[in-house]
Amino acid sequence: MTALLPLLSDPDVRTGSWARYVLTAWGQSIVPLLQEIRRTGPGRLRAAALTVLAEIAGEGGLSARDRAAVERLIRIKVLADRPEPLSGCWIHWIAVPAGDQQGIMDLLGLTQPRPVTFALANDVVDADSHDGPTDGPGCFARVFVSPELDGWTFVAGRWCDPIDNERADEVLRTCERLSTRYGQAQAYYYGAQGDGSAWVVAENGVVIRRYSETGDGEDHLLTIGDPLPYERDRRVGLGLSPEWDAAHASEAEEDEWKWAVFDMAPALAQAIGLSPLTIGFDVPMRGTGVLALTEYGTANGVPPGAYKI
């Protein structure tokens, strides 16, 4: 174990990465040694030791001094932070046409908000999306609540998944509550690696549409409401009837529609509001984004990890 430590500062990037990976796999048994390196050095290993320590033990494994240093760095970075698009393999978000960040968090029961940069938020949300409910409740533990972006606020994270077996009903009710207060609310899932799209659209306390295409044979069971105008327009653009008529449509026609829907969530979100996948540096912004705990995070804590700031 100790023989690997000098490799953390190896000038070859691949060697250093390999050393971090192997040491992380040792788990809690190596935490005291990493903490000692943070306290006493050698200096060339201290930065890498912090990364491995965070990966294994999370914030709880860091000293008060290290935690304060990280928080100070974040406070400095957010001063010049600008919007960045959400990205990742699987992206889940709720969109609200309001800039009431605190009100939205209160309504959703989110607690312990902490300022974050867009880069940090993106890294955390992406990491959490790679875990499923079978890996424990950690994937639902936290969300990113954006600052106001061109009149919209986004809540992003696996907890927002509108079609997850555990979360779907609650996300639907969440959209109803949000739209009662703010007029509208939308929830989306997008699998950026060809894993499908889904959406929930609520207006004035009522869900007017829920639709999903992920390749799951039971997607149709989630459908609520009539197709949105954007959906009908897309069907016409594909040369399909704007009306769903599975009894008379050919298999080729329905397959064409399903493949189109697989990538539709970002475009639909932009067409009826604003998509966090397309925001950029020049989007009007007011306030600072935060990571906040959900009820899962309050009860169980958050998973460890080392993230970009």
pLDDT at residue 252, rounded to an integer: 79
User: Is the predicted pLDDT of residue 133 greater than 60, yes or no?
Assistant: no
- Residue 88 and residue 27: Cα distance in Å, rounded? 26
Please confirm whether the linkage preceding 42 is cis (ω < 30° from 0): yes
Contacts from 203-212 at CB under 8 Å and sequence distance 24+? 203/179, 204/179, 204/180, 205/176, 205/177, 205/179, 205/180, 206/176, 206/179, 207/172, 207/175, 207/176, 210/162, 210/172, 211/261, 212/162, 212/163
Contacts from 72-80 at CB under 8 Å and sequence distance 24+? 73/309, 74/114, 74/115, 74/116, 74/117, 74/120, 74/309, 75/115, 77/117, 77/309, 78/115, 78/116, 78/117, 78/288, 78/289
Question: Beta-strand (E) ranges in the chain?
Answer: 90-96, 111-115, 142-145, 148-149, 153-156, 184-191, 196-203, 206-213, 285-286, 290-293
- Report whether 164 contacts 173 (CB < 8 A): no
* Residue bearing tokens 């999306």: 129
* Residue bearing tokens 């979100």: 269
Q: What is the CA radius of gyration of the chain?
A: 22
- Give 100-125 pLDDT, tens digit per residue: 999 999 999 999 999 999 999 999 99
Return the percent helix, strand and coil in the chain, to nearest 5.
50, 15, 35
- Residue 153 and residue 99: Cα distance in Å, rounded? 6
Domain extents in the chain:
2-62, 90-226+263-300
Residues, the chain, total?
A: 309
CA 144 to chain centre: 7
DSSP string, 194-231: TTEEEEEEEETTEEEEEEEESS-TTGGGG-BSPPPHHH
Q: Residue 244 — φ and ψ, nearest 5°?
A: -80, 125
As a whole-number percent, the residues of the chain with pLDDT over 70 amount to 96
pTM of the predicted protein model: 0.93
Please report how many Cα atoms fall inside a 13 Å half-sphere around the Cα of residue 27, on the Cβ side. Answer: 0
- Give 273-291 pLDDT, tens digit per residue: 999 999 999 999 999 999 9
Q: Residue 113 — φ and ψ, nearest 5°?
A: -65, 140
Please report how many Cα atoms fall inside a 13 Å half-sphere around the Cα of residue 143, on the Cβ side. Answer: 28
Residue 307 binned pLDDT confidence (cut-offs 50, 70, 90): very high
As a whole-number percent, the residues of the chain with pLDDT over 90 amount to 72
Of 10-14, 21-25, 151-155, the poorest mean pLDDT is in 10-14
Residue 223 binned pLDDT confidence (cut-offs 50, 70, 90): very high
The crossing angle, in degrees rounded to 10, of helices 43-57 and 31-40 is: 140
